[in-house]
C-alpha cells in the first residue's frame, strides 16, 4: 500500500483532521493566552498588557470564595487513591477473567453497567445510601467509591485488551523451568504488562482528578478541585479563572506526559533486552 499515490481523499481528510485538532486544542489555547492578561484586563480579548498578576492572585492571595490549595490537595490525594486501587483491582479482576469462574458473566455486565449508568445517578444513589445508613459522606469514602465506579470499568477493559494479546507460552515456559505461580507472575507476567498497568494508572488518576458529576453529592463538606472550579465560574469574573484553568491543565498534561514517557522507556528497555 505504501507505493500507492495519495488520492484527493487523503488531502481532504488531512484538512478535516487538522480542523478537528484545532477544534480540540483551540479553545484551550485561548484561555492559556488570556491567563497572562494584564492587571486591568478582562475575560475576553484584547490583551490588556501581559502579566503574571492572575497567577499571583491565584497562588498567593486569599480568594473571596473558595480554597484552591485545599481543594487541590484533596483532589490529588483522591486521584492517587483511585489510581492505586484501580490498578490493583483491575489487574486482579483481569487475571480472574482469564479463567472460567461462576458469575463471570454477571460480573462483566455489572462492570459495563457501571460505565453506562449516568454519573448523576451514581452520585445521587451513593449520596442517598449514605444518608439512609446514617453515614457522613466524605471525599475519601463516598467520593472515592463514586470515582471507582467510573475508573474500574475502564481499567478492566484495558486489562481485557492486554490479556487477549498476551501469549501464554511465556508462562508455560516459566512453569516448565520450575517457577512457582507467584514467580511466574512476578518475573514473567508483570514485567510484560507493566506499561499497560501504567496506562491504567494514568486513566485512574486523570479521570478521578477531573471528575465532577460523580463527586457532586458524594464529596461531603469539603470540595474537590473540579467542584471548586465550578463554584468559581459563578462567582469570579476576573482572569484568575483562566489562571486556574491553565495551572490545572498544565498539571494534567505533565502527569500524562510523565506516564507516556515512563511507558516509552519501559518499552525501549524491554525491546533492548529482547534484542540483546
Identify residues 46-65 at the interface with another protein (CB under 8 A).
none
C-alpha cell at 123: 452520585
Beta-bridged to residue 50, according to DSSP, are: 37
Q: Cis omega (within 30 of 0) on the bond before 179? A: no
Residue with cell 489562571: 243
What's the rounded Cα separation, in Å, for the pair 209 and 147?
Answer: 9
**Near another protein by CB under 8 A: residue from 59, 198, 249, 270:** 249
**Near another protein by CB under 8 A: residue from 39, 63, 67, 160:** 160
Q: Which stretch binds another protein (CB under 8 A): 76-84, 152-160, 168-176, 189-197?
A: 152-160
237 is a contact residue toward another protein (CB under 8 A): no
Q: Which residues of 208-226 are buried (b: 16+ CB within 10 A; e: fewer)?
A: bbbbebbbbbbbbeebbbb
The count of chain residues that interact with another protein, using the rule CB under 8 A, is 90
Q: Is 247 helix (H, G, I), strand (E, B) or coil?
A: helix
272 is a contact residue toward another protein (CB under 8 A): no
C-alpha cell at 61: 492571595
What's the rounded Cα separation, in Å, for the pair 171 and 194?
Answer: 16
163 is a contact residue toward another protein (CB under 8 A): no
252 is a contact residue toward another protein (CB under 8 A): yes
**Near another protein by CB under 8 A: residue from 50, 135, 177, 256:** 256
217 is a contact residue toward another protein (CB under 8 A): yes
**Near another protein by CB under 8 A: residue from 39, 59, 63, 97:** 97
**Near another protein by CB under 8 A: residue from 22, 50, 65, 92:** 92
What's the rounded Cα separation, in Å, for the pair 267 and 195?
Answer: 7
We find the least distance from the C-beta atom of residue 160 to another protein, in angstroms, to be 7
We find the least distance from the C-beta atom of residue 100 to another protein, in angstroms, to be 8
What's the rounded Cα separation, in Å, for the pair 47 and 54?
Answer: 13
C-alpha cell at 218: 458524594
**Near another protein by CB under 8 A: residue from 59, 124, 179, 262:** 124
**Near another protein by CB under 8 A: residue from 82, 184, 206, 223:** 206
CA 259, distance to chain mean position in Å, is 11
Do residues 213 and 123 make contact, with C-beta atoms less than 8 angstroms apart?
A: yes
- The interface with another protein within residues 9-48 (CB under 8 A) comprises 9-10, 13-14, 16-17, 20-21, 23-28, 30-31, 34, 43-45
**Near another protein by CB under 8 A: residue from 38, 114, 238, 270:** 114
Amino acid at each position: 500500500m505504501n507505493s500507492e499515490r495519495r488520492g484527493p481523499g487523503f488531502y481532504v481528510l488531512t484538512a478535516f483532521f487538522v480542523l478537528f485538532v484545532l477544534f480540540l486544542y483551540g479553545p484551550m489555547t485561548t484561555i492559556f493566552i488570556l491567563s497572562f492578561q494584564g492587571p486591568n484586563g478582562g475575560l475576553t480579548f484584547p490583551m490588556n498588557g501581559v502579566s503574571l498578576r492572575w497567577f499571583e492572585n491565584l497562588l498567593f492571595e486569599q480568594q473571596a470564595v473558595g480554597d484552591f490549595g485545599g481543594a487541590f490537595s484533596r483532589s490529588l490525594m483522591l486521584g492517587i487513591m483511585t489510581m492505586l486501587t484501580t490498578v490493583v483491582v483491575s489487574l486482579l479482576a483481569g487475571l480472574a477473567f482469564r479463567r472460567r469462574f461462576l458469575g463471570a458473566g454477571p460480573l462483566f455486565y455489572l462492570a459495563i453497567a457501571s460505565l453506562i449508568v449516568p454519573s448523576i445517578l451514581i452520585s445521587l444513589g451513593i449520596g442517598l445510601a449514605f444518608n439512609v445508613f446514617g453515614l457522613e459522606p466524605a471525599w475519601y469514602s463516598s467520593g472515592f467509591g463514586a470515582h471507582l465506579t467510573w475508573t474500574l470499568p475502564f481499567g478492566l477493559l484495558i486489562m481485557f485488551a492486554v490479556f487477549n494479546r498476551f501469549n501464554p507460552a511465556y508462562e508455560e515456559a516459566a512453569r516448565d523451568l520450575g517457577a512457582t505461580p507467584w514467580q511466574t507472575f512476578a518475573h514473567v507476567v508483570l514485567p510484560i504488562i507493566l506499561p499497560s498497568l501504567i496506562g491504567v494508572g494514568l486513566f485512574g488518576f486523570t479521570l478521578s482528578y477531573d471528575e465532577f458529576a460523580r463527586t457532586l453529592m458524594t464529596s461531603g463538606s469539603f470540595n474537590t478541585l473540579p467542584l471548586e472550579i465550578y463554584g468559581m465560574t459563578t462567582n469570579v469574573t476576573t482572569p484568575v479563572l483562566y489562571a486556574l484553568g491553565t495551572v490545572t491543565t498544565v498539571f494534567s498534561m505533565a502527569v500524562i506526559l510523565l506516564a507516556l514517557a515512563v511507558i516509552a522507556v519501559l518499552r525501549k528497555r524491554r525491546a533492548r533486552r529482547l534484542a540483546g
